[in-house]
Amino acid sequence: MNNILPRPLELGEIHLWLISLDVAADGIPALLGLLSVEERRRAERIRILKPRNHFIVARGLLRKILSSYLPISPEELDFDYGPHGKPELRNADSSGIHFNLSHSSNLALLAINRKYPIGVDIETARYGRSFMKLAERFFSCREIDDLHDLDEESVLAGFYACWTRKEAYLKAIGTGLATPLNAFDVTLKPEATPALVGQRLDPAETERWSIIEIKVPAGYRAAAATQWIAPRIVFRQWQSDDQTP
Ligand SMILES: CC(C)(COP(=O)(O)OP(=O)(O)OC[C@H]1O[C@@H](n2cnc3c(N)ncnc32)[C@H](O)[C@@H]1OP(=O)(O)O)[C@@H](O)C(=O)NCCC(=O)NCCS
């Protein structure tokens, strides 16, 4: 059973769930009880308590939330994993539901839609990092040039806009770092619409994907990549009172 009010997931909508991963210790066993044997083994391998609990909460609530869209209980959901580890609902083609999850610090962001694979990334914006050095390591030439054009106050925002947009796209296609980070370009300047603007491995990709900037609490940045053009974004908040079943 789950206790989330049902709300239909229409074609062209993306439901975004922001989840606090800091659940009181007495809420953990119930969420652990929803996990598969493999997921419990994975949790056991995480030696440090906080990240272990965060994994259990993210997986447990992922199961509860997905189950609210389906006639299946949270513990009965099955996942398939892509060649680079992307989880999808087993039989996603018949349910039509695709999701992607991202976590950073004590927050997780879950994106759910119908029909198309989706990618999402949330990052904690950390001040004082050497942004240009990181950009030169991870970004494409076009992105590095765009970052160089920004004044000092805009560099942090530009850097995280780029990072989250790149990662959301990589997570949507499911390849992770198997796709070279300098093989594709996203926008990052404040005046530019979020977008995938170059893909040298498959130029038609720029027509296929939209990048959406997601409003998240101060100190975080987030983006999603979707094949819906101008999707309707529906924010849904997991209430902490509901975190124990
Ligand atoms: C999984 C990956 C795609 C993202 O990892 P990450 O940034 O540590 O983590 P996030 O919190 O955003 O996402 C993790 C979740 O994505 C999902 N996931 C796992 N593999 C995935 C894949 N290949 N594609 C899409 N989603 C994936 C899982 O739900 C995972 O949650 P879990 O760890 O609780 O099972 C990682 O393999 C990767 O390639 N990271 C790139 C990191 C990087 O250098 N980025 C630079 C961007 S400029």
Tell me what percent of the residues of the chain surpass a pLDDT of 90.
Answer: 84
Q: What is the pLDDT of residue 240?
A: 56
Report the separation in Å between the CA atom of 167 and the middle of ligand 1, taken as the mean of its atom positions: 8
Tell me what percent of the residues of the chain surpass a pLDDT of 70.
Answer: 94
Q: Among 42, 90, 33, 49, which Cα is nearest to 66's?
A: 90
Q: Is the pLDDT of residue 1 over 60?
A: no
Mutation choice for ligand 1 from 77, 167, 184, CB with most ligand atoms inside 8 A: 167
Q: Are residues 69 and 148 in the same domain?
A: no
Q: Are residues 95 and 39 in the same domain?
A: yes
Report the separation in Å between the CA atom of 4 and the middle of ligand 1, taken as the mean of its atom positions: 27
Which pLDDT tens digit goes with each residue over 48-57? 999 999 999 9
Give the start-end residues of each E strand in 54-166: 79-81, 87-89, 97-104, 107-114, 119-124
Is 54 a pocket residue for ligand 1 (Cβ < 6 Å)?
Answer: no
Quick check: is 3 in a domain? Answer: no
Which pLDDT tens digit goes with each residue over 192-245? 999 999 999 999 999 999 999 999 999 999 999 999 999 999 999 776 544 443
Q: What is the pLDDT of residue 129?
A: 74
Atom 24, ligand 1: residue with shortest CA distance: 174
Quick check: is 171 in a domain? Answer: yes
Residues 132, 127, 156: CA angle, nearest 5 degrees = 50
Residue 93 belongs to domain with CATH number: 3.90.470.20
Q: Are residues 112 and 175 in the same domain?
A: no
Specify the number of domains making up the chain.
Answer: 2
The average pLDDT across 165-190 equals 96
Is 121 a pocket residue for ligand 1 (Cβ < 6 Å)?
Answer: yes
Q: What average pLDDT does the chain have?
A: 92
Q: Are residues 77 and 157 in the same domain?
A: no
Highest mean pLDDT among 17-31, 34-48, 67-81: 34-48
Query: Which helix (H) or strand (E) element contains residue 8?
Result: none
Lowest-confidence segment of 21-35, 56-70, 87-101, 111-125 by average pLDDT: 87-101
Q: Are residues 89 and 136 in the same domain?
A: no
Atom 40, ligand 1: residue with shortest CA distance: 176
Q: Are residues 132 and 207 in the same domain?
A: yes
- Dihedral sign (CA 51, 109, 20, 66): negative
Q: Are residues 128 and 206 in the same domain?
A: yes
Q: Are residues 134 and 157 in the same domain?
A: yes
Q: Are residues 22 and 111 in the same domain?
A: yes
Q: What is the pLDDT of residue 147?
A: 96
Quick check: is 4 in a domain? Answer: no
Q: Per residue in 82-114, is it b (16+ CB within 10 Å) or e — as a string?
A: eeeebebbeebeebebbbbbbbbeebbbbbbbb
Is 164 a pocket residue for ligand 1 (Cβ < 6 Å)?
Answer: no
Which pLDDT tens digit goes with each residue over 89-135? 997 667 899 999 999 999 999 999 999 999 999 999 887 778 899 99
Determine the Cα–Cα distance for residues 91 and 79; give it in Å rounded to an integer: 9
| pTM for this entry | 0.94
Domain that holds residue 130: 124-226
Q: Are residues 207 and 134 in the same domain?
A: yes
Write out 179-213 in H/E/C secondary structure. Answer: CCHHHEEECCCCCCCCCEEEECCCCCHHHHCEEEE
Quick check: is 1 in a domain? Answer: no
Atom 13, ligand 1: residue with shortest CA distance: 102
Is 181 a pocket residue for ligand 1 (Cβ < 6 Å)?
Answer: yes
Quick check: is 62 in a domain? Answer: yes
